[in-house]
Chains A and B, each alone.
Chain A
Amino acid sequence: MSLNGNGGQGHDVERREEEADLPARAGEERLNAPVARTGMFGAKTTGDTSGYGRLLVRKTPRASSKRPFTDPDDPRTASFDGVADALERALGRDGAPGTRAVERVVVDRGEITFHVRREHLREVARMLRDDPDLRFELCTGVSGVHYPDDTGRELHAVYHLRSLTHNNEIRVETACPDADPHIPSVVSVYPANDWHEREAWDFFGIVFDGHPSLTRIEMPDDWHGHPQRKDYPLGGIPVEYRGATIPPPDERRSYQ
């Protein structure tokens, strides 16, 4: 098996461009995608008089790219096939987790993302750092993202790695469900990720297993909840005007 993604539900970015002359098929697929939200102005509690109340916005499909990752017309992608090959070689060695560790690969807007299964994250990170053909020495921290609609993989941890030796950039993304918010810590591989992981724990509640001291870093120690999650209750402004109060920002009517 090679780093080709999961095929079934995926859409090849480049093949999608080739199929652009089949709008009917694309439109049909789009209509079958699950609904992300309805309406346009975020009005949920009162009647939507805007006329856009029945508008359906559908979820974007989960992308997955196929080889070749390098697009000869896009110089930003020049190294992508080389990096993927080297990672594949490293993953295929004895004792390595095999290419199954990488769930899918996405090439989008000149950036490559390796979606790594969380149980193999630390091994993959070590390979990315130590393999002479990869040498991603610098991890610029972890950025948490909360997708409440992505059932079973609500919390994403996104790592941006940089190789000073080969001057490459890649993104490694891993996900965990809300019910079991555990991701292995990569502090043993990238010591600089210490504070970054504490930040992701503080703001998203992702538990990084194996972190030397996973404590809050920005919020006070006795704070409840993880503020940058999408389901974190936002305080409204206690302003009253003739009985009406100002709702929290995520409940206000606004353009979306």
Chain B
Amino acid sequence: MTNVTEDYIDASGGDWDEVIAKAQSSGAERLVVNMGPQHPSTHGVLRLILTLDGETCTEARVGIGYLHTGIEKNMEFRTWTQGTTFVTRMDYLTPIFNEVAYCLAVERLLDITDRIPERANVIRVLMMELNRMSSHFVAMATFGMELGATTVMTSGFREREMVLDIFELITGLRMNHAYIRPGGVAQDLPDGAVEKIRELLKEMPKRITQMRKLLDASPLYLARTRDVAHLDLAGCMALGVTGPMLRASGLAWDLRKAKPYCGYENYEFDIPVSDGGDVYARYRVRMAELEQSLRIVEQCLDRLRPGPIMVDDAKIGWPARLELGGDGLGNSPEHIAHIMGGSMEALIHHFKLVTEGFRVPAGQAYAAVESAKGELGCHAVSDGGTRPYRVHFRDPSFNHLQSVAAMCEGGTVADVIAAVASIDPVMGGVDR
């Protein structure tokens, strides 16, 4: 519906010819316009309702919910283990973080946090840091694309592909892995994984330097990002902003250091901080985090010792050992031979654990991880059954999108794009 009053033109919907006719006949300067939900620069289906006065954005409102899939509700009808296949699809650029946050909450409910084997924890950290890199590369790539720097886009996605190749080798899938499971990880690192990660460690610093050369001091990039979408520390704290955005406002807050999980206290790394508070500072923080992630991945490889990858509790850890066969990933042939030909009890145990799942003592737990985007929290409630009673995710992007108004109002339309890109929102996680 086109609605023209004396002081603004509503272009948020309706017949375009009418909107233009009204705009031409009216003297109003104010224009209400929809950016998205289908817009290449809104990272999926984000709808921005902007009130424009000429080039200036005087009001920015955010509409979400276009990608709501009811993941939290769905999980209430699946076993605790099956939950990982849902959470991995929330923020699809940080699947490993979603899985780890969920599994840490379940493990806390089961009170087995201290019994997770060392190797499983090292693999989790390794996968999380690789995932942080792939997520940051997409953040940089899409940002470049939105500012018209397609070279950044292609090289960002190329670098990410190196990480995804490793994910594919280890988990079988490029995305949506369901690799981290309550109690450990789904399967051990396959042959050749460590070598492939070492290759990445050798190659990646060069690629990061290349990207830095493209962006760090490019006058065009600086003009679009410096002093744009400024959010100072007080604003970040009021809006509950965490992650690279908070660190770009000068506070060295990182859950990996503050509340270490999965053994992060054993790794040496720095928290990159910048006090710019603008889009450029957020870019610099993400770039520096890439380098820190490489450091952690290297330490993970040194810490890898042979050992179990699943908690030593037959009631929780799946009895099957997955193995890659000629026809893809599946139960290992030895395990099949054991349950089908050797032991009736093992077959019953396998059947019960896979179909019924394990029971989780009643209670609630909250586990938070430092995802690539900020604090990703999982609140899990159990009523003592084999399925979650309630699982809630505090997705950082959901929280951070609230800051769009604070960052954009008073700036130009072009800066809205930069502001949203610097939040790095993923609507799958926002809407869940």
Contact with B along A20-51 (1 / 0, CB 8 A): 00000000000000001000000000000000
- Residues in B neighbouring A190, C-beta threshold 8 A: 240
Indicate if A241 sits at the interface (CB-CB under 8 A): no
- Residues in A neighbouring B402, C-beta threshold 8 A: 192, 194-195
Given A109-B108, A158-B379, A160-B379, CB of A256 within 8 Å of CB of B398: no
- Residues in A neighbouring B242, C-beta threshold 8 A: 138
Contact (Cβ within 8 A) B399 A192: yes
- Residues in A neighbouring B356, C-beta threshold 8 A: 255
Closest-by-CB residue of B relative to A173 is B364
A168 to B375, CA, bound (A): 15
A111 to B377, CA, bound (A): 14
- Residues in B neighbouring A138, C-beta threshold 8 A: 237, 240, 242, 375
Contact (Cβ within 8 A) B111 A109: yes
A194 to B375, CA, bound (A): 17
Contact (Cβ within 8 A) B363 A140: no
Contact (Cβ within 8 A) A195 B399: yes
A41 to B377, CA, bound (A): 32
Indicate if A246 sits at the interface (CB-CB under 8 A): no
Q: Which of B242-293 contact A (CB under 8 A)?
A: 242, 251, 253, 258-259
Stretch at the interface among B15-23, B50-58, B320-328, B385-393: B385-393
Q: Which of B369-387 contact A (CB under 8 A)?
A: 375, 377, 379, 381, 383-387
Contact (Cβ within 8 A) B379 A143: yes
Contact (Cβ within 8 A) A255 B355: yes
Indicate if A9 sits at the interface (CB-CB under 8 A): no
Contact (Cβ within 8 A) A228 B73: yes
A218 to B259, CA, bound (A): 31
Given A143-B379, A250-B77, A256-B385, CB of A111 within 8 Å of CB of B65: no
Contact (Cβ within 8 A) B64 A218: yes
Indicate if B348 sits at the interface (CB-CB under 8 A): no
Contact (Cβ within 8 A) B365 A111: yes
Indicate if B95 sits at the interface (CB-CB under 8 A): no
Indicate if B415 sits at the interface (CB-CB under 8 A): no
Say which size band chain B's interface belongs to.
35 or more
Indicate if A151 sits at the interface (CB-CB under 8 A): no
A151 to B121, CA, bound (A): 42
A60 to B398, CA, bound (A): 34
Contact (Cβ within 8 A) B253 A140: no
Given A109-B365, A140-B394, CB of A145 within 8 Å of CB of B381: yes
Contact (Cβ within 8 A) B431 A218: yes
Given A109-B109, A138-B240, CB of A219 within 8 Å of CB of B363: no
A199 to B395, CA, bound (A): 12
Given A138-B242, A256-B385, CB of A227 within 8 Å of CB of B70: yes
Closest-by-CB residue of A relative to B72 is A228
Please pick, from A137, A141, A219, A256, the residue contacting B237 in the complex, using a CB distance under 8 A: A137
A59 to B349, CA, bound (A): 27
Contact (Cβ within 8 A) A60 B384: yes
Contact (Cβ within 8 A) A160 B377: yes
Contact (Cβ within 8 A) A145 B399: no
Given A194-B402, A227-B70, A255-B357, CB of A140 within 8 Å of CB of B240: yes
- Residues in B neighbouring A113, C-beta threshold 8 A: 364
Contact (Cβ within 8 A) A139 B240: yes
Given A140-B368, A255-B357, CB of A109 within 8 Å of CB of B399: no
A74 to B381, CA, bound (A): 22
Could you tell me the distance in whole angstroms from the C-beta of A139 to the nearest C-beta in chain B?
A: 6
Could you tell me the distance in whole angstroms from the C-beta of A167 to the nearest C-beta in chain B?
A: 5
Closest-by-CB residue of A relative to B432 is A218
Given A109-B363, A109-B365, A158-B364, CB of A192 within 8 Å of CB of B240: yes
Could you tell me the distance in whole angstroms from the C-beta of A17 to the nearest C-beta in chain B?
A: 13
Indicate if A249 sits at the interface (CB-CB under 8 A): yes
Indicate if B362 sits at the interface (CB-CB under 8 A): yes
- Residues in A neighbouring B92, C-beta threshold 8 A: none
Contact (Cβ within 8 A) A140 B237: no
- Residues in B neighbouring A219, C-beta threshold 8 A: 65, 68
Counting chain B CB atoms within 10 Å of each CB, which of A190, A216, A218, A250 scores highest? Answer: A218
Q: Which of B222-254 contact A (CB under 8 A)?
A: 237-242, 251, 253
A237 to B432, CA, bound (A): 22
Please pick, from A167, A228, A256, the residue contacting B386 in the complex, using a CB distance under 8 A: A256
Contact (Cβ within 8 A) B399 A141: yes
A171 to B362, CA, bound (A): 17
- Residues in B neighbouring A146, C-beta threshold 8 A: 390
Indicate if A220 sits at the interface (CB-CB under 8 A): yes
Could you tell me the distance in whole angstroms from the C-beta of A225 to the nearest C-beta in chain B?
A: 12
Indicate if B366 sits at the interface (CB-CB under 8 A): yes
Closest-by-CB residue of A relative to B79 is A255
Given A109-B365, A190-B240, A255-B356, CB of A145 within 8 Å of CB of B390: yes
Contact (Cβ within 8 A) A140 B72: no
Please pick, from B65, B237, B368, B394, the residue contacting A220 in the complex, using a CB distance under 8 A: B65
Counting chain A CB atoms within 10 Å of each CB, which of B73, B109, B368, B392 scores highest? Answer: B392
Could you tell me the distance in whole angstroms from the C-beta of B76 to the nearest C-beta in chain A?
A: 8
A169 to B255, CA, bound (A): 12
Contact (Cβ within 8 A) A191 B239: yes
Closest-by-CB residue of A relative to B406 is A191
A75 to B259, CA, bound (A): 12
A228 to B77, CA, bound (A): 12
Closest-by-CB residue of B relative to A227 is B73
3 tightest A-B CB contacts, nearest first: A192-B240, A143-B392, A255-B356
Listed A/B pairs (25) with beta-carbon separation below 8 Å: A111-B366, A113-B364, A138-B240, A141-B394, A143-B394, A145-B381, A145-B390, A146-B390, A160-B366, A160-B377, A162-B375, A164-B237, A164-B253, A171-B364, A191-B240, A192-B402, A195-B402, A216-B65, A218-B64, A218-B65, A219-B65, A219-B68, A249-B77, A254-B77, A255-B357
Interface residues of B (CB under 8 A from A): 64-65, 68, 70, 72-73, 77, 108-109, 111, 237-242, 251, 253, 258-259, 355-357, 362-366, 368, 375, 377, 379, 381, 383-387, 389-390, 392, 394, 398-399, 401-402, 431-432
12 new A-B contacts at CB < 8 Å, known A137-B237, A140-B240, A143-B390:
A36-B383, A109-B108, A109-B365, A111-B108, A145-B364, A160-B368, A192-B239, A218-B68, A227-B70, A250-B77, A255-B356, A255-B386
